[in-house]
Amino acid sequence: MSIELRLSEVEPPKPDEPRTIYRDIDSLPDPMQLGLTIRAFNYDDVGLYFQITGSHPDYTFGTVNLGLVGSGTDIYRNLDNFASRPRPAAETEEVITLILRAYTDAGYSDLKHTYNRSVTVIIINSQNGSWTTDVENNFDDGTVQGWSSDTDLPAWVSHSVSVVTDYVLSSPYALRLYCSSTAFLPAQMSAWLRKTFTTPDKTNVFAIINIRLSVLHASYDFLKHGYASRNGTLLVFLGRPYDGLTEHYMVRDKWLRIVVPLPKNTTLEVRVGIRAVRTSAIYGGACYIRMDDFKIISKD
Protein backbone atom coordinates (compact mmCIF):
# COMPACT_ATOMS: atom_id res chain seq x y z
CA MET A 1 0.00 0.00 0.00
CA SER A 2 1.65 3.19 -1.18
CA ILE A 3 -1.15 5.65 -0.39
CA GLU A 4 -4.03 5.55 2.09
CA LEU A 5 -7.21 7.47 2.88
CA ARG A 6 -8.45 7.72 6.47
CA LEU A 7 -11.52 9.31 8.04
CA SER A 8 -10.39 9.44 11.65
CA GLU A 9 -7.60 10.54 13.97
CA VAL A 10 -6.35 6.93 14.35
CA GLU A 11 -2.63 6.79 13.60
CA PRO A 12 -1.01 4.10 11.44
CA PRO A 13 -0.16 1.27 11.82
CA LYS A 14 -3.43 0.84 13.73
CA PRO A 15 -6.20 0.03 11.27
CA ASP A 16 -8.82 2.66 10.51
CA GLU A 17 -12.13 0.99 11.32
CA PRO A 18 -15.08 1.14 8.90
CA ARG A 19 -16.77 4.52 9.04
CA THR A 20 -20.43 5.52 8.89
CA ILE A 21 -21.84 8.97 8.19
CA TYR A 22 -25.27 9.65 9.72
CA ARG A 23 -27.59 12.30 8.30
CA ASP A 24 -30.98 13.70 9.28
CA ILE A 25 -32.87 15.07 6.27
CA ASP A 26 -35.41 17.08 8.26
CA SER A 27 -35.46 20.64 6.84
CA LEU A 28 -32.43 20.05 4.60
CA PRO A 29 -32.44 21.63 1.14
CA ASP A 30 -32.94 19.61 -2.02
CA PRO A 31 -30.41 18.61 -3.27
CA MET A 32 -28.54 18.16 -0.01
CA GLN A 33 -24.80 18.62 0.35
CA LEU A 34 -22.23 16.32 1.94
CA GLY A 35 -18.98 17.49 3.49
CA LEU A 36 -16.32 15.59 5.43
CA THR A 37 -12.74 15.76 6.67
CA ILE A 38 -10.23 13.35 5.16
CA ARG A 39 -6.64 12.40 5.93
CA ALA A 40 -4.43 11.18 3.08
CA PHE A 41 -1.07 9.41 3.49
CA ASN A 42 1.83 9.10 1.06
CA TYR A 43 3.96 6.03 1.82
CA ASP A 44 5.81 6.21 -1.51
CA ASP A 45 9.49 7.11 -1.83
CA VAL A 46 8.66 10.28 -3.79
CA GLY A 47 6.29 13.20 -3.42
CA LEU A 48 2.96 12.76 -5.18
CA TYR A 49 0.07 14.99 -6.19
CA PHE A 50 -3.13 13.79 -4.57
CA GLN A 51 -6.66 14.09 -5.92
CA ILE A 52 -9.95 12.91 -4.46
CA THR A 53 -13.39 12.26 -5.91
CA GLY A 54 -16.14 9.72 -5.32
CA SER A 55 -18.66 7.37 -6.89
CA HIS A 56 -22.32 6.48 -6.30
CA PRO A 57 -25.23 6.52 -8.76
CA ASP A 58 -27.31 8.94 -6.65
CA TYR A 59 -24.50 11.38 -5.90
CA THR A 60 -22.65 14.09 -7.80
CA PHE A 61 -19.07 14.34 -6.53
CA GLY A 62 -16.54 17.09 -6.92
CA THR A 63 -12.96 16.39 -7.96
CA VAL A 64 -10.55 18.11 -5.57
CA ASN A 65 -6.84 18.50 -6.27
CA LEU A 66 -5.12 18.24 -2.90
CA GLY A 67 -1.66 19.29 -4.07
CA LEU A 68 1.77 17.85 -3.41
CA VAL A 69 2.09 15.42 -0.50
CA GLY A 70 5.69 14.70 0.42
CA SER A 71 7.12 11.23 0.78
CA GLY A 72 6.30 9.79 4.20
CA THR A 73 3.88 12.63 5.08
CA ASP A 74 0.14 13.10 5.30
CA ILE A 75 -2.41 15.88 4.93
CA TYR A 76 -5.79 16.75 6.42
CA ARG A 77 -8.41 18.44 4.28
CA ASN A 78 -11.95 19.54 5.06
CA LEU A 79 -14.06 19.06 1.94
CA ASP A 80 -17.06 21.37 2.15
CA ASN A 81 -19.90 20.61 -0.27
CA PHE A 82 -17.84 17.73 -1.63
CA ALA A 83 -20.88 15.84 -2.90
CA SER A 84 -24.60 16.33 -3.38
CA ARG A 85 -27.62 14.08 -3.87
CA PRO A 86 -31.37 14.58 -4.25
CA ARG A 87 -33.06 14.48 -0.86
CA PRO A 88 -34.58 11.00 -0.58
CA ALA A 89 -38.27 10.56 0.11
CA ALA A 90 -37.63 7.88 2.75
CA GLU A 91 -34.95 6.83 5.19
CA THR A 92 -32.22 4.86 3.48
CA GLU A 93 -28.78 3.30 3.86
CA GLU A 94 -26.21 3.48 1.06
CA VAL A 95 -22.52 2.92 0.45
CA ILE A 96 -20.47 5.55 -1.35
CA THR A 97 -16.92 5.08 -2.64
CA LEU A 98 -14.23 7.68 -2.01
CA ILE A 99 -11.47 7.53 -4.63
CA LEU A 100 -8.00 8.84 -3.79
CA ARG A 101 -5.58 9.12 -6.72
CA ALA A 102 -1.87 9.97 -6.67
CA TYR A 103 -0.04 11.45 -9.65
CA THR A 104 3.62 12.08 -10.29
CA ASP A 105 3.03 15.49 -11.91
CA ALA A 106 1.37 18.77 -11.00
CA GLY A 107 -0.86 18.50 -14.06
CA TYR A 108 -2.52 15.36 -12.66
CA SER A 109 -1.93 13.38 -15.85
CA ASP A 110 0.54 10.62 -14.85
CA LEU A 111 -1.44 8.37 -12.49
CA LYS A 112 0.66 6.21 -10.16
CA HIS A 113 -1.67 4.96 -7.37
CA THR A 114 -5.39 4.64 -6.67
CA TYR A 115 -6.98 3.93 -3.29
CA ASN A 116 -10.72 3.29 -2.87
CA ARG A 117 -12.50 3.64 0.45
CA SER A 118 -16.11 2.59 1.05
CA VAL A 119 -18.21 4.64 3.48
CA THR A 120 -21.69 3.81 4.69
CA VAL A 121 -24.20 6.68 4.76
CA ILE A 122 -27.31 6.23 6.89
CA ILE A 123 -30.04 8.78 6.22
CA ILE A 124 -32.81 9.23 8.79
CA ASN A 125 -35.79 11.59 9.04
CA SER A 126 -36.35 12.72 12.61
CA GLN A 127 -39.81 14.08 11.73
CA ASN A 128 -41.33 11.05 9.98
CA GLY A 129 -43.30 9.88 13.03
CA SER A 130 -41.29 6.75 13.82
CA TRP A 131 -38.86 8.64 16.07
CA THR A 132 -39.48 9.93 19.58
CA THR A 133 -37.91 13.26 20.48
CA ASP A 134 -36.51 12.65 23.96
CA VAL A 135 -34.59 15.93 24.31
CA GLU A 136 -35.08 19.19 22.46
CA ASN A 137 -32.96 22.22 23.32
CA ASN A 138 -34.00 25.14 21.10
CA PHE A 139 -33.20 27.85 23.71
CA ASP A 140 -36.35 29.73 22.78
CA ASP A 141 -37.22 30.22 26.45
CA GLY A 142 -34.22 32.58 26.66
CA THR A 143 -32.09 30.25 28.83
CA VAL A 144 -29.05 28.05 28.09
CA GLN A 145 -31.14 24.99 29.08
CA GLY A 146 -28.41 23.33 31.14
CA TRP A 147 -25.47 23.76 28.77
CA SER A 148 -22.14 25.04 30.13
CA SER A 149 -18.61 25.55 28.80
CA ASP A 150 -15.10 24.47 29.66
CA THR A 151 -11.54 24.65 28.29
CA ASP A 152 -8.29 22.71 28.42
CA LEU A 153 -6.33 26.00 28.60
CA PRO A 154 -7.63 27.50 31.85
CA ALA A 155 -4.61 29.71 32.55
CA TRP A 156 -5.29 32.10 29.69
CA VAL A 157 -8.54 31.24 27.94
CA SER A 158 -11.86 32.82 28.90
CA HIS A 159 -15.15 31.25 27.88
CA SER A 160 -18.85 31.75 28.49
CA VAL A 161 -22.27 30.56 27.33
CA SER A 162 -25.27 32.75 26.56
CA VAL A 163 -28.33 32.95 24.32
CA VAL A 164 -28.20 35.21 21.26
CA THR A 165 -30.53 36.39 18.50
CA ASP A 166 -28.05 37.18 15.69
CA TYR A 167 -27.89 33.75 13.99
CA VAL A 168 -30.62 31.21 14.77
CA LEU A 169 -32.34 28.22 13.21
CA SER A 170 -35.56 28.63 15.18
CA SER A 171 -36.46 32.11 16.37
CA PRO A 172 -35.87 33.88 18.64
CA TYR A 173 -32.75 32.38 20.32
CA ALA A 174 -29.73 30.19 19.75
CA LEU A 175 -26.99 29.18 22.18
CA ARG A 176 -23.55 30.78 21.83
CA LEU A 177 -20.18 29.71 23.20
CA TYR A 178 -17.65 32.57 23.38
CA CYS A 179 -13.94 31.79 23.66
CA SER A 180 -10.91 34.13 23.71
CA SER A 181 -7.25 34.03 24.76
CA THR A 182 -4.77 36.46 26.34
CA ALA A 183 -1.69 34.24 25.90
CA PHE A 184 1.43 35.22 23.96
CA LEU A 185 1.01 35.08 20.19
CA PRO A 186 0.12 32.93 18.44
CA ALA A 187 -2.55 32.36 21.06
CA GLN A 188 -4.57 29.19 21.09
CA MET A 189 -8.31 29.48 21.68
CA SER A 190 -10.06 26.28 22.72
CA ALA A 191 -13.33 25.58 24.50
CA TRP A 192 -16.37 23.36 24.30
CA LEU A 193 -20.05 23.23 25.12
CA ARG A 194 -21.09 20.39 27.39
CA LYS A 195 -24.20 18.85 28.92
CA THR A 196 -24.98 15.51 30.58
CA PHE A 197 -27.90 13.37 29.44
CA THR A 198 -29.36 9.97 30.24
CA THR A 199 -30.29 8.28 26.99
CA PRO A 200 -33.53 6.31 26.52
CA ASP A 201 -33.58 2.52 26.68
CA LYS A 202 -34.21 2.01 22.97
CA THR A 203 -32.35 0.29 20.16
CA ASN A 204 -31.58 3.40 18.10
CA VAL A 205 -30.53 6.66 19.77
CA PHE A 206 -29.09 9.70 17.98
CA ALA A 207 -28.01 13.22 18.88
CA ILE A 208 -28.71 15.85 16.21
CA ILE A 209 -26.41 18.84 16.61
CA ASN A 210 -26.79 22.00 14.51
CA ILE A 211 -23.79 24.30 14.87
CA ARG A 212 -22.30 27.41 13.29
CA LEU A 213 -18.56 28.04 13.88
CA SER A 214 -17.01 31.48 13.48
CA VAL A 215 -14.19 33.79 14.55
CA LEU A 216 -14.22 37.48 15.48
CA HIS A 217 -11.70 38.72 12.89
CA ALA A 218 -11.32 36.33 9.96
CA SER A 219 -8.03 38.03 8.95
CA TYR A 220 -6.45 37.60 12.40
CA ASP A 221 -8.30 34.68 14.00
CA PHE A 222 -8.05 31.34 12.20
CA LEU A 223 -10.39 28.40 12.67
CA LYS A 224 -8.62 25.04 12.99
CA HIS A 225 -11.31 22.52 13.82
CA GLY A 226 -14.63 21.68 15.40
CA TYR A 227 -15.69 18.37 16.92
CA ALA A 228 -18.32 16.42 18.81
CA SER A 229 -17.61 13.79 21.45
CA ARG A 230 -19.28 11.75 24.18
CA ASN A 231 -17.54 10.86 27.44
CA GLY A 232 -14.19 11.69 25.82
CA THR A 233 -14.77 9.51 22.73
CA LEU A 234 -14.38 11.55 19.56
CA LEU A 235 -17.41 11.11 17.28
CA VAL A 236 -16.93 13.74 14.57
CA PHE A 237 -13.85 15.84 13.71
CA LEU A 238 -13.99 18.66 11.13
CA GLY A 239 -10.79 20.46 10.11
CA ARG A 240 -7.29 19.48 11.17
CA PRO A 241 -5.13 19.48 14.34
CA TYR A 242 -4.17 22.83 15.82
CA ASP A 243 -1.24 24.87 14.58
CA GLY A 244 -0.36 28.56 14.72
CA LEU A 245 -0.49 29.18 10.96
CA THR A 246 -2.61 31.94 9.43
CA GLU A 247 -4.94 29.57 7.62
CA HIS A 248 -8.53 28.43 8.12
CA TYR A 249 -8.94 24.66 8.03
CA MET A 250 -12.72 24.40 7.80
CA VAL A 251 -15.77 26.31 6.67
CA ARG A 252 -16.88 29.29 8.79
CA ASP A 253 -20.14 31.18 9.23
CA LYS A 254 -22.34 28.38 7.96
CA TRP A 255 -24.83 26.12 9.74
CA LEU A 256 -23.66 22.50 9.84
CA ARG A 257 -25.59 19.46 10.99
CA ILE A 258 -23.84 16.67 12.89
CA VAL A 259 -25.70 13.43 13.61
CA VAL A 260 -24.07 10.94 15.98
CA PRO A 261 -25.23 7.63 17.49
CA LEU A 262 -25.44 7.32 21.27
CA PRO A 263 -25.55 4.19 23.45
CA LYS A 264 -28.93 3.40 24.96
CA ASN A 265 -29.81 3.70 28.65
CA THR A 266 -26.54 5.47 29.49
CA THR A 267 -25.64 8.64 31.37
CA LEU A 268 -23.09 10.52 29.29
CA GLU A 269 -21.66 13.96 28.58
CA VAL A 270 -21.98 15.41 25.08
CA ARG A 271 -19.32 17.93 24.09
CA VAL A 272 -19.22 20.22 21.06
CA GLY A 273 -15.87 21.97 20.74
CA ILE A 274 -13.88 24.49 18.74
CA ARG A 275 -10.17 25.30 18.41
CA ALA A 276 -8.73 28.38 16.73
CA VAL A 277 -5.68 30.67 16.87
CA ARG A 278 -5.40 34.43 17.53
CA THR A 279 -2.51 36.04 15.64
CA SER A 280 -2.90 39.79 16.32
CA ALA A 281 -1.86 41.76 19.39
CA ILE A 282 -3.79 44.80 18.14
CA TYR A 283 -7.17 43.18 17.55
CA GLY A 284 -8.66 41.15 20.38
CA GLY A 285 -9.48 37.70 19.08
CA ALA A 286 -12.36 35.36 19.74
CA CYS A 287 -14.07 32.28 18.37
CA TYR A 288 -17.67 31.15 18.67
CA ILE A 289 -19.96 28.15 18.44
CA ARG A 290 -23.62 28.84 17.89
CA MET A 291 -25.93 25.89 18.42
CA ASP A 292 -29.66 25.57 17.89
CA ASP A 293 -32.34 22.87 17.78
CA PHE A 294 -30.24 20.23 19.52
CA LYS A 295 -32.19 16.98 19.79
CA ILE A 296 -31.86 13.45 21.08
CA ILE A 297 -34.18 11.07 19.27
CA SER A 298 -34.84 7.34 19.63
CA LYS A 299 -36.83 4.36 18.43
CA ASP A 300 -36.75 0.56 18.72
**Do 264 and 144 belong together in one domain?**
yes
**Do 111 and 137 belong together in one domain?**
no
Taking the C-alpha atoms of residue 102 and residue 115, their distance in angstroms, rounded to an integer, is 9
4 Cβ neighbours under 8 A, 6+ residues apart: 12, 16, 40, 41, 43, 100, 115
Q: Which of 75, 100, 124 is the last residue of a domain?
A: 124
**Do 174 and 266 belong together in one domain?**
yes
User: For 292, what's the count of Cα atoms within 13 Å in the CB-facing half-sphere?
Assistant: 21
Domain count along the chain: 2
Q: Which of 124, 143, 161 is the last residue of a domain?
A: 124
**Do 160 and 226 belong together in one domain?**
yes
User: Which domain covers residue 91, as residue numbers?
Assistant: 3-124
**Do 147 and 288 belong together in one domain?**
yes
**Do 144 and 291 belong together in one domain?**
yes
Taking the C-alpha atoms of residue 99 and residue 119, their distance in angstroms, rounded to an integer, is 11
Whether residue 1 has pLDDT greater than 90: no
**Do 104 and 168 belong together in one domain?**
no
What is the model's pLDDT at position 9?
84
**Do 148 and 253 belong together in one domain?**
yes
Convert the pLDDT of each residue in 102-150 to its tens digit: 999 999 999 999 999 999 999 999 999 999 999 999 999 999 999 999 9
The arithmetic mean of pLDDT across residues 64-82, rounded, is 97
The reply to whether the predicted model has a pTM over 0.85 is yes
Taking the C-alpha atoms of residue 278 and residue 229, their distance in angstroms, rounded to an integer, is 24
Taking the C-alpha atoms of residue 213 and residue 254, their distance in angstroms, rounded to an integer, is 7
Convert the pLDDT of each residue in 184-235 to its tens digit: 999 999 999 999 999 999 999 999 999 999 999 999 999 999 999 999 999 9
**Do 179 and 71 belong together in one domain?**
no
Q: Which of 99, 124, 149 is the last residue of a domain?
A: 124
